[in-house]
Structure 1
Amino acid sequence: MNDQPLDGPDVPRGCPVAHGGAGDLTRLYGAEAALDPHGIYARLRKEYGAVAPILLEGDIPAWLVLGYRENRRVLDNPRQFSRDARIWRDWKEGRVEDSSPLIPMLGWRPDCVSQDGEPHRRLRGAVTDNLLTVAGRGIRRHVTHFANKQIDAFANGGKADLVSDYAEYLPMLVLTRLFGLPAGEGHNLAVSCAQVIKGGEDAVAHNDRIMRILGELADRKRAEPGADFTTGLIGHHAGLDEDEILSHLRLVLITAHITTSNLLARVLQLILTDTSRLAGLVSGQLNVSAVVEEVMWNTPPLAVLPGRFAATDLELGGHHIKEGDLLVLGLTAGNLDPDIRPDAGVSVQGNQSHLAFSGGAHECPGQNIGQAIIETAVDVLLHRLPGLRLAVTPDELTSTASTWEARLDSLPVEFAAQVAGA
């Protein structure tokens, strides 16, 4: 039903703002959302079409964009769908507290993701310039170093969980090197990044911990510059102030780690649940990038992208969107939209038009770095662990979703144990 009637000038039917309660809108958080996000997407698509009214944590209303074409329209039209959260009506009118777990993901910050137009171009230029610089300084060498260190910790045992023992922390260890951070900070930062994405009552505290660590890092790099991303931001000709520097360190750290760790786990899952892919990679007949591409379509690392704010009254997917409404982008739902993929089982090899990297002016600038981390991490793992195989049946693997992602819980494997010192 695409022409959803409204209960007032500003909100969809069932919205808590309209009725003083949660009404009958679907919550994109909580127990059901954690266990069956795909079921929720399918039900919403059937009831509302390509765009559906939903509730986020705290029963804050939003529109979930489910259609591929509708996602593209939002991503490609920043004048209609702004990234500036200061126009978010529920925040402006006091319904979203600063302590809300939504704020670390949706609140305005002095970073390029929160800006449009010329301010966005200025700040994004500083980020992309420095990502290109660090990418040219042997990133695969850093990945190989930390991947081997991670594998050394479990290689003698003949078994491991490739989520908790490998994918969950490896990208952050690489990022500590690129940022100029001590590797010892990697574990704490990885845990805090995961909690910010997960949400809940601890999200703000973990965000504060990240900002404290990054603030101390920026102070050190002003006193002792190095060949790293942090020093590059501080000295960039765009002239970022202190808040802008810290906000961009936070932005890159969280997004790069969370998306890459999640994507690495899903790539390993696909390889280990399909023996033909595993054999193809080991023999050199299959390229890791082809597996990554398939995962990008079917299980993108961010299932839902926060967020856009309607800059004016408009229509999207047959619904009346009001100025100041929040929209969140269903990347997984859009990639699996039956209007563009009537048979989701058909190969998408060679087709890079997925939504996993977002799109438009805010498309992910670090995708090549993420690809390098994943390809190298997979190559090192397959080289180091002969006989690598899944230790459970594929249907025993489970995932837990938050509003923004669906993360693989574990990936137990077995392999030929390494002899110490061999």
Structure 2
Amino acid sequence: MSTTPTHQPGPAAPPPGCPAHRLYGAEAEADPMGLYEKLRAEHGAVAPVLVQGDLPAWLVLGHRENLDVVRTPSRFARDPRHWRDQQQGNVPADHPLTPMTAWQPACHLVEGVEHERLRGAITESLERFDRRGIRRYVKRFADQLIDAFVQTGKADLVEDFAEPLPMLVMTQLVGAPESYGPRLVEAARDMIQGTETAVASFEFVSVTLRELVERKREVPGRDFTTWLVEHPTALNDDEAVEHLRLVLIAAFETTANLIANTLRMVLTDRRFRANLSGGHMTLPDALEQVLWDEPPFMTMLGRWATGDTELAGTRIKAGDMLLLGLAAGNVDPEIRPDLTVPVHGNRSHLAFSSGPHECPGQDIGRAIADTGIDTLLTRLPDLELAVPEDGLRWTSSLLSRHLVALPVRFTPRGSAVTGSTQVPGTHRPPAAPPAPRAAPYTEVRPVGQASWWSRLLGRG
């Protein structure tokens, strides 16, 4: 018997005669925040929009309304099988959103008991890490990355630091051979950017993680993969691979953006840097301010209405798709009437969502960003932007806005004594790398098990 939710056919969102703006194309990519404010002025907290293929959706712009959506899965489910356009055959297999909206048995696409089972395996496995163990890995890899360019007096802090650091750390935490790290960085970049080799990169990541799961079943370690496959929920190999990929890619994307955005603020905002260097703002405070002003994901797919309902006075039909406006909600004038007032001590931003599907690994991202940036600024205190601020460029997509490069200069220095081999170069290859078949396996060193993730439990 099929478990696919079904609905009676109904009018697509938005209603006929209601103007909708495209969330893709030149206008959206050039100034997404400007578009969000235009939509807020025209429609209020919930606006009709079009995604790729001119498929209709609702963009939730209000802070309170975003929380309402994510905290009431009975009304707005994460399960994409509710999507009416998909049921009616309007979303072809090659549609740009299909990789993100095709249903699979993963914790971020299911609800209820199954969601609790799958998410519990992730959160309870993450709980077993301790903060000091993670920060040791971050410091080690941050020093190695800095050593690769410290003698040149120049670097691109996106390609040379912000992007490789999270994946190198996560490679260690999942218990993969260290040699996998740089190649997983490249594959993750390729998948996120949607290049011609993105499918090959996806296959590389899948094969790599499946080999890792199989190896950990035979030779357990003290790492996230082992804890995941040994969890009482008894995940099968497919489920373990799917959730490893989910954790790795989410950690890569969000943390790389957070590091890059914070470093840009340090280099371009004199007041921000003065507050940080003068002790008026701690680095964790600085990260929270950036999570308010430039969250790693600007919008998030997606929620689907389980029945006819209403949101902020807007009629939502069963099967309508809703997009979470994380960046727009963070600057909602209802909660931030004056954007110049610092909010760095406040964690009520939407950067990691909320409700049952709130990001379970947000604190590991904070630990990587905090320790990595602190290491960089300590070693290179005279960092300065190597191009005019208006020369910085971004690429935008439906979900996020990426800083293309962050060129800097500084006084050349000697390498640090890190006690380990320098990280191999992580320059972009012309094609996705082949899956490693004979890489030597080195067991990850044990980390402590003190519980600092316990407050994440119960969110599933």
The alignment's TM-score, normalised by the length of structure 2, stands at 0.83
Output the amino acid matched with 2:109: S
Corresponding residue number in structure 2 for 1:105: 100
Corresponding residue number in structure 2 for 1:389: 384
How far is the alpha carbon of 1:205 from its aligned partner?
4.7
Asked if the contact 2:213–2:225 (Cα under 8 Å) also holds between the matched residues in 1, the reply is yes
Q: Does 1:89 align with 2:95?
A: no
Moved more, 290-299 or 187-196: 187-196
CA offsets 1:28-63 (integer angstroms, 9 cap, x no match): 123332221112112222222211222222333221
CA offsets 1:242-291 (integer angstroms, 9 cap, x no match): 22111111111111110000001111111122334435544655310111
CA offsets 1:4-35 (integer angstroms, 9 cap, x no match): xxxx94213588xx9xxxx9632212333222
Q: Does 1:129 align with 2:124?
A: yes
Distance of 1:205 and 1:317 partners within structure 2: 43
How far is the alpha carbon of 1:362 from its aligned partner?
1.1
Asked if the contact 1:102–1:199 (Cα under 8 Å) also holds between the matched residues in 2, the reply is no
Asked if the contact 1:175–1:253 (Cα under 8 Å) also holds between the matched residues in 2, the reply is yes
Corresponding residue number in structure 2 for 1:334: 329
Q: Does 1:153 align with 2:154?
A: no
Q: Does 1:244 align with 2:245?
A: no
Distance of 1:25 and 1:334 partners within structure 2: 19
Q: Does 1:186 align with 2:187?
A: no
For CA contacts below 8 A with separation 6 or more, give which structure has more relative contact order: 2
How far is the alpha carbon of 1:234 from its aligned partner?
0.7
CA offsets 1:375-406 (integer angstroms, 9 cap, x no match): 11011101211312222333332322111001
How far is the alpha carbon of 1:207 from its aligned partner?
3.2
Assess, with a 3 A threshold, how the Cα gap between structure 1 residues 314 and 420 changes in structure 2: closer, same or farther. Answer: closer
Moved more, 242-251 or 368-377: 242-251
Output the amino acid matched with 1:56: V
For residue 309 of structure 1, give the secondary structure of its aligned residue in structure 2: strand
Q: Does 1:360 align with 2:361?
A: no
For residue 225 of structure 2, give the secondary structure of its aligned residue in structure 1: helix
How far is the alpha carbon of 1:416 from its aligned partner?
1.1
Output the amino acid matched with 1:10: P
How far is the alpha carbon of 1:366 from its aligned partner?
0.9
CA offsets 1:121-143 (integer angstroms, 9 cap, x no match): 11111101111213457000110
Asked if the contact 1:303–1:332 (Cα under 8 Å) also holds between the matched residues in 2, the reply is yes
Asked if the contact 1:105–1:196 (Cα under 8 Å) also holds between the matched residues in 2, the reply is no
Q: Percent identity at matched positions?
A: 50
Output the amino acid matched with 1:356: A
Q: Superposition pairs for residues 175-324 of structure 1, below 5 Å?
A: 175-199=170-194, 203-282=198-277, 284=279, 286-324=281-319
Asked if the contact 1:52–1:63 (Cα under 8 Å) also holds between the matched residues in 2, the reply is yes
How far is the alpha carbon of 1:101 from its aligned partner?
2.6
Asked if the contact 1:101–1:200 (Cα under 8 Å) also holds between the matched residues in 2, the reply is no
Corresponding residue number in structure 1 for 2:162: 167
Moved more, 409-418 or 280-289: 280-289
Distance of 1:280 and 1:68 partners within structure 2: 27
CA offsets 1:330-384 (integer angstroms, 9 cap, x no match): 1000111122212111111322111011001111111111111111101110121
Output the amino acid matched with 2:398: T
Asked if the contact 1:160–1:412 (Cα under 8 Å) also holds between the matched residues in 2, the reply is yes
| CA-based RMSD | 2.3
Asked if the contact 2:135–2:368 (Cα under 8 Å) also holds between the matched residues in 1, the reply is yes
Distance of 1:386 and 1:49 partners within structure 2: 44
Corresponding residue number in structure 2 for 1:377: 372
Distance of 2:91 and 2:183 partners within structure 1: 28
Distance of 2:415 and 2:44 partners within structure 1: 58
Output the amino acid matched with 1:224: V
For residue 371 of structure 1, give the secondary structure of its aligned residue in structure 2: helix
Distance of 1:37 and 1:279 partners within structure 2: 29
How far is the alpha carbon of 1:299 from its aligned partner?
0.5
Output the amino acid matched with 1:87: H
Moved more, 288-297 or 206-215: 206-215
Of 376, 398, 401, the match for 1:403: 398
Aligned length: 409
Of 39, 47, 72, the match for 2:42: 47
Distance of 2:163 and 2:352 partners within structure 1: 20
How far is the alpha carbon of 1:177 from its aligned partner?
0.7
Output the amino acid matched with 1:342: P
Distance of 1:81 and 1:96 partners within structure 2: 20
Distance of 2:164 and 2:299 partners within structure 1: 22
The alignment's TM-score, normalised by the length of structure 1, stands at 0.90
Output the amino acid matched with 1:345: T
Distance of 1:381 and 1:357 partners within structure 2: 25
Output the amino acid matched with 2:11: D
Flag structure 1 segments of 5+ consecutive residues without an equivalent.
1-7
Distance of 1:352 and 1:310 partners within structure 2: 28
Assess, with a 3 A threshold, how the Cα gap between structure 1 residues 172 and 69 changes in structure 2: closer, same or farther. Answer: same
Assess, with a 3 A threshold, how the Cα gap between structure 1 residues 182 and 60 changes in structure 2: closer, same or farther. Answer: farther
Distance of 1:143 and 1:245 partners within structure 2: 25
Distance of 1:144 and 1:288 partners within structure 2: 15
Output the amino acid matched with 2:37: A
Moved more, 228-237 or 93-102: 93-102
Assess, with a 3 A threshold, how the Cα gap between structure 1 residues 309 and 13 changes in structure 2: closer, same or farther. Answer: closer
Flag structure 2 segments of 5+ consecutive residues without an equivalent.
1-8, 418-460
